[in-house]
Amino acid sequence: MLEWKRWKLCVAVLMSLSLVVVGCDDDDDDDLPPDVGTADVVEDVVEDVAEDAPADAAEDVAEDAAEDVAEDVEEDVAEDVEEDVAEDVGDDADATVSAVVEVDCATVQADQVVSMVNIAYDPATFTIAAGDVVRWDNDETSAIPHTVTSGRSGDADAGDLFDSGNIAQGESYCLQFNQAGTFNYYCTIHPTQMNDGVATVQ
Q: Does 201 bind Cu ion (CB under 5 A)?
A: no
Q: Does 152 bind Cu ion (CB under 5 A)?
A: no
Contact 158, 87 (CB under 8 A): no
Comparison of 175 and 194: residue with beta carbon closer to Cu ion: 194
Please, which of residues 41-100 interact with Cu ion by CB under 5 A?
Answer: none
Comparison of 132 and 148: residue with beta carbon closer to Cu ion: 148
Contacting range for Cu ion; rule: CB under 5 A; set: 38-46, 75-83, 130-138, 141-149:
141-149
Contacting range for Cu ion; rule: CB under 5 A; set: 48-56, 69-77, 95-103, 189-197:
189-197
Q: Does 115 bind Cu ion (CB under 5 A)?
A: no
Residue 121's nearest CA partner among 176, 180, 183 is 183
Number of H helices, E strands in the chain: 2, 9
Burial of 149 (0-12, 13-18, 19+ CB in 10 A): buried
Contacting range for Cu ion; rule: CB under 5 A; set: 77-85, 135-143, 171-179, 186-194:
186-194
Q: Does 113 bind Cu ion (CB under 5 A)?
A: no
Contacting range for Cu ion; rule: CB under 5 A; set: 20-28, 53-61, 75-83, 180-188:
180-188
Q: Does 189 bind Cu ion (CB under 5 A)?
A: yes
Residues 140 and 189: their CA atoms lie apart, in Å, by 14
Q: How many residues does the chain have?
A: 202
Contacting range for Cu ion; rule: CB under 5 A; set: 17-25, 101-109, 144-152, 153-161:
144-152
Q: Does 187 bind Cu ion (CB under 5 A)?
A: yes
Name the E strands within 97-180. Answer: 100-103, 112-116, 121-122, 125-128, 133-138, 149-150, 172-177
Contact 162, 100 (CB under 8 A): yes
Q: Can you tell me which of 146, 164, 173, 176 binds Cu ion, judged by CB under 5 A?
A: 146
Q: Does 196 bind Cu ion (CB under 5 A)?
A: no
Comparison of 99 and 198: residue with beta carbon closer to Cu ion: 198
Contact 164, 151 (CB under 8 A): no
Smallest separation (angstroms) from Cu ion to the CB of 190: 4
Residue 130's nearest CA partner among 96, 177, 66, 74 is 177
Residue 162's nearest CA partner among 118, 111, 201 is 201
Which residues of the chain form contacts with Cu ion (CB under 5 A)? 146, 187, 189-190, 194
